[in-house]
Amino acid sequence: MGLPGEPPGRPIEFDTVLKSALARGFHVLVCDEAQWMSRECFEYWRYLWDDPSTDIAVVFAGGDGCAKVLRREPMLASRIYIWQHAVPLTLPEVLKAIPAFHPLWAGVDRDLTALVDKQAAHGNFRAWARITKLAADGLAAQGRTSVDEHLLRQVYGRLGVGT
């Protein structure tokens, strides 16, 4: 959020700084792994959302059981506008999204991209992000610029994925 200076040491001071920043314009706050949040954490999210001076949207993302955990908090659940279940990308979606996601994939043959999805990513965007990071690191370390099967075997080895 680009807040200047050191964070305040006391919770009440931090709360004031945070709410002031959230009041300056619209913000989207993302809470990943929401299924692990405590009741007190959910109450704080609700408190920020309910404050008339803040202009925020909160996105709760999580794995198995996340919706169940969120629904256990009725004061929070009643404020959730959309419940969205994420499903893996289809192959046509992968072939469109992944080259747009990162320039590393822009010039890669569609058949090789499809093979990576079949062997390691399975339509999972988080898996694609991990593969992309490892591939980019591998290319940089080797002074190379393009993805090929040799590099992908190295990436798969780091992921513990067989080919």
- Do residues 126 and 86 make contact, with C-beta atoms less than 8 angstroms apart? no
Domain residue spans of the chain: 11-77, 91-159
The confidence score (pLDDT) of residue 65 equals 87
CA dihedral 22, 28, 30, 31 (to 10 degrees): 50
Q: How confident is the model at residue 105 (pLDDT cuts 50, 70, 90)?
A: very high
Give the residues across from 59 on adjacent strands: 30
Q: What is the pLDDT of residues 6-24, one digit of tens each?
A: 888 899 999 999 999 999 9
Which pLDDT score, from 0 to 100, does residue 85 have? 85
Q: How do residues 38-70 score in pLDDT, each as one tens digit?
A: 999 999 999 999 999 999 999 999 888 889 999
Can you give the pLDDT at residue 74? 87
* Residue 104: per-residue pLDDT: 95
